Amino acid sequence: MKKLNLQENAEDYTLIEKAIYYLDENQRNQPTLKEIAESVNLSEYHFQRLFTRWVGISPKRFLQFLSKENAKRILSKSNLLDAAYKTGLSSTGRLHDLLVHTEALTPGDIKRKGAGLKIRYGKHPTPFGQAFIATTERGICKLSFNPKEALNSLKSDLEDATLIEDFAHTQTLIEKIFSPKSKGTPLTLHLRGTNFQIQVWEALLRIPAGNMVAYNDIASAVNSPKATRAVGTAIGKNPVPFLIPCHRVIRATGEFGKYAFGSERKKAILGYEMAQTGT
């Protein structure tokens, strides 16, 4: 594939999301390529070109990745998380090579509401729309596909921190996260969460790109097999979605389930990852 253009991909994504929404609403009717293209006001030719530019494969192949049957096939793989633990993070996908360290905010940081912390932030185009990212001197503390809500959340949770808009600084991080062949210093996460939440988030990091697990798999991975609901709550509190891949957790039935930034975006991210890894 050609070199990733984040701005171009972000512009493509708005139409891809509409197409996925149309497919969700009309999947029983098995719409043709022409009908899907018309739903986003494009000709078949231009829609096919846009789709291939965005993900590198045809719309038909992409939809096969997002089928319930494919999801159930992936879920049926045995000991996926166990294998990831045994082989080490370096062999389970590009993101895992980057995320080698997770550091929690200390109780003092939280009690002081961020006093003394400098947080640099920025809004950037990505293959999945505009994203907000924020980082302290110790690592990335926020990633979101809802920039306005994310900034307000930071101001509320860490109201005494010093917030600095620094596009140049955060652009480097965005490129490392969303550019497939990025290299350099590994990323560090600086997170706020309970011990249980941190355990769940670290388990999510062990899910290989292009794969999916069920909520009960994560519960077993953190030695709390009966705590599926608590696991779901911890996943919902993930402060850096995509980076900590909560989108890779789906229902045991093969249904993709909800996502904080819309079910269409969850399907888009999963399909994109499967296309890149050939899952």
* Structure token pair of residue 143: 């990633």
159 residue type, one letter: E
Sequence-distant (6+) residues with CB within 8 A of 17 are 129, 262, 264, 265, 268
238 within a domain of the structure (yes/no): no
- Per-residue model confidence (pLDDT) at position 105: 62
Between the alpha carbon of residue 128 and those of residues 69, 89, 105, 187, 260, the distances in Å are: 24, 25, 28, 20, 13
Q: Count the domains in the chain.
A: 1
14 in any annotated domain: yes
Catalytic amino acids?
Answer: 246
Strand residues in the chain grouped as ranges (E): 99-104, 118-126, 129-136, 139-144, 162-165, 187-191, 213-214, 249-250
- As a residue count, the chain comes to 279
The token pair at 151 is 């900034």
Residue 170 covered by a domain: no
- Predicted local confidence at residue 90, as pLDDT: 36
Q: Is residue 120 one of the residues assigned to a domain?
A: no
Beta strand pairing call for 118-126 and 129-136: antiparallel
Q: 5-59: per-residue pLDDT in tens?
A: 778 788 889 999 999 888 888 877 778 889 999 999 999 999 999 888 888 888 8
95 pLDDT exceeds 80? no
CA distance 158 to 148: 16
The band of 159, judged by pLDDT with boundaries at 50, 70 and 90, is confident
SS3 250: strand
pLDDT at residue number 238: 93
Q: Is residue 58 part of a domain?
A: yes
Residue 110 has pLDDT above 70, yes or no: no
The domain of 22 spans 6-67
pLDDT tens for each residue of 1-18: 344 577 878 888 999 999
Q: Which residues pair with 136 in a beta bridge?
A: 139
Residue 242 has pLDDT above 80, yes or no: yes
Of 53 and 101, the one with more pLDDT = 53
38 within domain boundaries:
yes
Phi, psi of 130 (to 5 degrees): -65, 135
DSSP annotation of 24 = H
pLDDT tens digit string along 180-204? 565 556 788 888 788 888 889 888 9
Give residue 181's pLDDT.
60
Nearest to 83 by CA among 70, 73, 96, 71: 96
In a domain, 12, yes or no: yes
Q: What is the CATH number of the domain that holds 42?
A: 1.10.10
The reported pTM is 0.83
**Residue 172 within any structural domain of the chain:** no
CA–CA distances in Å: residue 246 to residues 46, 203, 209, 226, 233: 32, 10, 11, 19, 11
Spatial distance between the Cα atoms of 190 and 240, rounded to a whole number of angstroms: 10
